[in-house]
Amino acid sequence: MQSDAAAGLVLEGGGLRGNFSAGVLRHFTDMCFVFSSLYGVSMGACNGANIISKQPERNRITNTCFVNDSRYLSYIRLLKGGDLFGMDFIFRDIPLHIVPIDYETFKNNSVKFWIGVTDCYTGNAVMFEKSMLESRDDVLTIMRASASLPLIAKPVEYNGVLYMDGGIANPIPLQQCLEHGEKPVLILTQPAGYRKRASKSVLLCKWRYPQFPELNRVLEHRHEEYNDVLATIEAKEKRGDVFVIRPESTLGVGRVCRNQRQLYELYDEGYALAQKCTPALQEFLSV
The residues carrying an active-site annotation are 42, 165
Quote the CA–CA distance of 143 and 7 in Å, as a whole number: 23
The answer to whether 69 and 90 are in contact (CB under 8 A) is no
The answer to whether 284 and 241 are in contact (CB under 8 A) is no
Helix (H, G, I), strand (E, B) or coil at 37: strand
61 burial (CB, 10 Å; 0-12 / 13-18 / 19+) is: middle
Contacts of 94 (CB under 8 A, 6+ apart): 62, 66
Quote the CA–CA distance of 201 and 73 in Å, as a whole number: 21
Quote the CA–CA distance of 76 and 82 in Å, as a whole number: 9
The answer to whether 173 and 9 are in contact (CB under 8 A) is no
CA–CA distances in Å: residue 36 to residues 52, 190, 214, 266: 11, 25, 33, 27
Quote the CA–CA distance of 266 and 258 in Å, as a whole number: 13
Quote the CA–CA distance of 146 and 45 in Å, as a whole number: 7
